[in-house]
Amino acid sequence: MPLSAADRDYLLKSIRNVPDFPKPGIQFKDITTLVGDPKAFGLTILHFAERYADEKIDFVVGAESRGFIVGAPLAIALGVGFVPIRKPGKLPFTTVSEKYALEYGFDEVQMHIDAFCGKQNARVLFVDDLIATGGTAAASIDLIQKVGAKCVEACFVVNLFALGGAEKIKKLTNFYTILDVDGD
């Protein structure tokens, strides 16, 4: 079921803008205020759950750390497992890694090699709170494919469309976002 304009407006107003974080000139979109509001958080999870109810998803994958906040309750709502993607050194078992470029250097994400419990061609939904340049999401989708699963869609609460991440992800998999914002 599509969200009404009033629901989208409510969600947008539930997100706090933090100026000059993590560095001057950046307007950080803070979803902790959205997840702290039971109506906004519930609306977000229920909307995603309705969207993916008939997609035969096997696992929800969330990127560290705000992807966990959205992904874990979504996995419960869909009745599937949740798989975390983390920064290096945070997972205790054998991992696969993917490096990606940042504005000033590189970063890396990892997941367990057996994250999908041996299920070949598992249908996976990638979720994160926000997409900006798309580096973390693209690396995460690459990891999903490395271990033999299929990312059927990447979904986000917020898309900062001016930063171009959505276009990068659309080349890799299907893309969905609840809120498109210009970054202000």
Residues carrying an active site annotation: 66, 103
Q: Which residue has the tokens 């709170």?
A: 129
Bridge partners of 19?
27
d(C-alpha 20, C-alpha 151), whole Å: 34
- From the list 79, 91, 180, 94, the residue with the least C-alpha distance to 125 is 79
Q: Which long-range contacts (CB under 8 A, 24 or more apart) does 25-32 make?
A: 27/183, 27/184, 29/130, 29/158, 29/160, 29/181, 31/66, 31/69, 31/129, 31/130, 31/157, 31/158
Q: Are 48 and 67 in contact (CB under 8 A)?
A: no
Residue type, 115: A
d(C-alpha 30, C-alpha 130), whole Å: 9
- The number of C-alpha atoms within 13 Å of 5 and in the hemisphere containing its C-beta is 0
